[in-house]
Structure 1
């Protein structure tokens, strides 16, 4: 019997794109059962009306349903709602302003049949930005029972894993057993989520043929966010990640997330100053890195007059150190 796949679509103010997304789901060549869970996150345009009309006129095999939030909760909460209501053996997230290829689920399930122990099947991505193309970085199609390999690749400065939650066929049991739900009330939630995913992920397969078409839309969260909102979210993400550092890749985690801290430090958010002080104490526990990072972060804390000039100068210095140290 073929596996039931749950496709989760959070919807918020995407009236110009949602039909394109739903048509791509309805056009799947996969012959097994699919449920599509649309989560209404209380937007103020006609998105949900379009969804309702689409479902009313749809006569195919996919089971479409709509779950309504009582108030706007954000993308992370919408994904969590869809996940909790899902019944499939595997879950697939898609953003409502994107679309999937007609053979998307077929390709991912085919890979799953060849690698039944895979907890995640990662599809390839077609986008204007070629950095999404996994085939530029990955030459193997399957890694099994090798969490050290997964973590080493993720913490590397040239991370080969797409951080996005979308375009991954994920074993539902893997999500629930490891409590891999999204941090709510922030943006960049995929960054925090993927950090926790890679800590427990043992087996992953890759599909090199494009399965997902990603668009940069003018009113999307990621294109319209303010710098302050971004920095506020990163503060919460980094606070969570720093409390979860562990071995055997302690040094690699320090390298990766010091870079993020420097990039998103905001002197107007008091939490960052406290976070930096705590982080400096954390770094001092590792003598190999302390002399480098304490100097950099202390300088960052000074943050005198020309903020942006100092920021880019620090980032440049850090990146050079990062490349040098990463050779060891």
Structure 2
């Protein structure tokens, strides 16, 4: 019988979480056959032993192994071997379902695509578990809030506003094959690339009004490291991802109709890199962003910011960003004061955060995501 869905799980040193993750998938009840493609990315802990034990219990599990090459390479390896009609991604330190899983989460993502051939992808609600960095609860609630339920043809702006994580979604494999879509290697924030490139031509979605996925914020997570504003090279990878999105749109002859979207992606990626890097690296980030805009000959006439960056004139760039940088400093100071005055996870703190977000809404999404 043909495989209905391939669930791809990239794994690297996930021994603490692997049992919970795989069982949340293997115990799903679906109307067809499923394969769970577990790609061990050169783990040095007991992950591979746990996988073999699980494979002896659950026949759906396939184990693939590669030397450590990163999550993107592991997902790509899984995609190369996948035979399902639909593709779902699960990270090894997360799980399907909310606080507990019903076993119907996967089928609730599949049903809309099975029932309507015009739907390109489905997406369900996300339960964010803050094992670390609980200060991000409010921003996470806003970022992962599902903006639509039921069938929806998304505009470019709505695609931009939908969270870009690959998990909590179900994709059609035939679209992935049509686009020859794979994750970019040797870069973080690869989900942003996948999100934009999959939906550039296929943007009819279905919002499932139930929690289908639990995402765990942990101290070891890449986003926590980014938010510490200590590694400009890491933060700048957002701009490199924007460049790859531009080049993909160019290959698909979509630049004319997607120019406003790509400019928005570049602006947001630049702000993210700037605000999550040490101040001493600001000029370098400005110059390197301008270099990418010049190299790709990107038309920036509709963006004053990008036009200034592309010009390569630091005084014009600084004069444009001056007020924004001042507001960013105020924001950070207010957050520091709030953290000292109000205990975490209290109503008073939530009210205070809401007031600050309202006052600085123009900065909030960039500073938090």
Q: TM-score, normalised by structure 2?
A: 0.71
Report the Cα offset of residue 303 of structure 1: 10
Query: What are the equivalent positions in structure 2 for 1:134-283 lying under 5 Å apart?
Result: 134-135=145-146, 137-138=147-148, 140-143=149-152, 146=153, 149-155=154-160, 159=161, 161-224=162-225, 227-243=231-247, 244=249, 246-265=255-274, 267-268=283-284, 271-275=288-292, 277=294, 282-283=299-300
* Alpha-carbon contact 1:37-1:67 (below 8 Å) kept: yes
Q: Give, in angstroms, the shift of residue 222 of structure 1.
A: 3.0
RMSD: 3.5
Q: Are residue 96 (structure 1) and residue 107 (structure 2) matched?
A: no
Distance 1:276 1:300, change over 3 A: farther
Distance in 1 (CA, whole Å) between partners of 2:327 and 2:181 is 34
1:121-171 alpha-carbon deviations (Å, 9 max, x no partner): 112211143235444x22x4113xx5xx3423124xxx1x22011121111
SS of equivalent residue, structure 1 residue 248:
helix
Q: Partners of 1:207 and 1:27 in 2: how far apart?
A: 20
Moved over 6 A (4+): 296-300, 308-311
Q: Would you say the 8 A contact 2:12–2:47 is kept in 1?
A: yes
SS for the counterpart of 1:92 is: strand
TM, length-normalised to structure 1: 0.79
Q: Are the equivalent residues in 1 in contact too, given 2:242–2:265 (CA < 8 A)?
A: no
Please tell me whether the aligned partners of residues 303 and 310 of structure 1 are also in contact (alpha carbons under 8 angstroms): no
The equivalent residue for 1:116 is 117
Measure how far apart 1:33 and its partner are: 0.7
Q: Which residue is 1:326 aligned to?
A: none
Separation (CA, whole Å) in 2 of partners of 1:251 and 1:198? 15
State which drifts further: 220-229 or 12-21: 220-229
For residues 65-103 of structure 1, the C-alpha deviation after alignment (integer angstroms, 9 at most, x for no partner) is 11011x211111111100110111111100000000221
Distance between the aligned counterparts of 1:195 and 1:107, measured in 2? 24
With over 3 angstroms needed to count, the CA separation of the structure-2 counterparts of 1:303 and 1:280, relative to structure 1, is farther
User: Do residues 312 (structure 1) and 325 (structure 2) align?
Assistant: yes
Bigger relative CO (Cα 8 Å, ≥ 6 apart)? 1
Partners of 1:72 and 1:167 in 2: how far apart? 25
Partner deviation per Cα, 1:186-232 (whole Å, 9 max, x = no partner) = 10001112111121114221211111111112223333456234234
Contact (CA 8 Å) 2:28, 2:104: kept in 1 or not? yes
CA contact (8 A) 2:4 2:85 kept: yes
Q: Aligned pair count?
A: 302
CA distance in 2, matches of 1:215, 1:205: 24
Gaps spanning 5+ residues in structure 2: where? 98-102, 130-139, 275-281, 330-360
Shift of 1:281: 6.7
- Structure-2 separation of matches of 1:227 and 1:154: 28
Go from structure 1 to structure 2 and tell me whether the alpha carbon gap of 1:76 and 1:199 turns closer, same or farther (over 3 Å shift).
same
Offset at residue 50 of structure 1 (A): 1.3
Unpaired runs of 5+ in structure 1?
A: 324-328
Q: Aligned partners of 1:183, 1:14: CA distance in 2, in Å?
A: 22
Contact 1:126 1:132 in 2 (8 A): no
Instruction: Please tell me whether residue 55 in structure 1 is matched to residue 72 in structure 2.
Output: no
- How far 1:297 moved relative to its partner? 7.2
What per-residue deviation string (whole Å, max 9, x for no partner) do you get for residues 93-117 of structure 1? 0000000022111211222333233
Cα offset, 1:236, TM superposition = 2.1
Residues 300 and 279 of structure 1, relative CA distance in 2, 3 Å threshold: farther
Per-residue CA shift, 1:227-276, capped at 9, x if unaligned?
23423422421222344362334234323421321331454467435125
Q: Please name the residue that 2:278 is paired with.
A: none
